[in-house]
Chains A and B, each alone.
Chain A
Amino acid sequence: DVKVTQSSRYLVKRTGEKVFLECVQDMDHENMFWYRQDPGLGLRLIYFSYDVKMKEKGDIPEGYSVSREKKERFSLILESASTNQTSMYLCASSLLSGGRDTDTQYFGPGTRLTVL
């Protein structure tokens, strides 16, 4: 079974703190994604990576950065957390399709982040 794990299920941080969310997948997938999920807004893509050290901005990258030093690990960084970043954060991974198809994305369980 594909497994995508996220470092924390619940996290509480203070405004201004630097926050790291970690995601690890064990299926040798090239693609990794970070989304945030908010009621009524669905899932919105924050950042996407299709290879080690490669990244691409999604729809809402402001206030976030990412790091991918190893193929299996994709980190989301909140440089200075703010209350409007309180949300559910979901990580996903998939195979690189090269345009011929679009592979299924496999999701982690999510991290519910609260910024006070």
Chain B
Amino acid sequence: AQSVAQPEDQVNVAEGNPLTVKCTYSVSGNPYLFWYVQYPNRGLQFLLKYITGDNLVKGSYGFEAEFNKSQTSFHLKKPSALVSDSALYFCAVRDKYGTDKLIFGTGTRLQVFP
């Protein structure tokens, strides 16, 4: 069965420092991977996705993610964190070929300190 894991419940970063939010996946076939963000009292917002092609995917708000097939990882990164990046981040993978269902990770809370 397809799955994603977010090994960190919380990540703390100082403003201006680079940030990484980790995600690993387990799939049969080619992975379709997503990152979503949830700001307080809001629904989820799409950040970026990897379907095929370049391993470095650029998304909204200056975020990017690196697909690494050998390590089965899809880590979310940003070169310089902002306090306003503080939110809950979810990694997701397509359930199986031919479906539009996603399987979400448990989420990682990012806290950026001034």
A interface residues (Cβ-Cβ under 8 A, vs B): 4, 31, 33, 35, 40-45, 48, 50, 58, 90, 92, 94, 96-99, 101-110
Contacts and interface: CB of A to CB of B under 8 A. Distances in A.
Interface string B17-55: 000000000000000101010000111111001010000
B50 to A, nearest CB: 11
B63 to A, nearest CB: 15
B104 A48 contact: no
14 contacts: A4-B43, A35-B104, A42-B6, A42-B104, A45-B103, A58-B101, A90-B44, A99-B97, A101-B51, A102-B94, A104-B46, A104-B49, A105-B100, A107-B44
The 6 nearest A-B residue pairs measured at CB: A107-B43, A99-B98, A42-B106, A43-B104, A107-B44, A102-B94
A108 B105 CA distance: 19
Interface of B: 6, 9, 32, 34, 36, 41-46, 49, 51, 90, 94, 97-107
Contact of A96 (B100, B103, B106, B107): B100
Q: Give the dominant DSSP class at B's interface.
A: loop
A109 B42 contact: yes
Given A96-B100, A97-B100, A102-B51, A41 B106 contact: yes
Contact of B100 (A40, A58, A103, A106): A103
A108 B99 CA distance: 21
B32 A102 contact: yes
B90 A90 contact: no
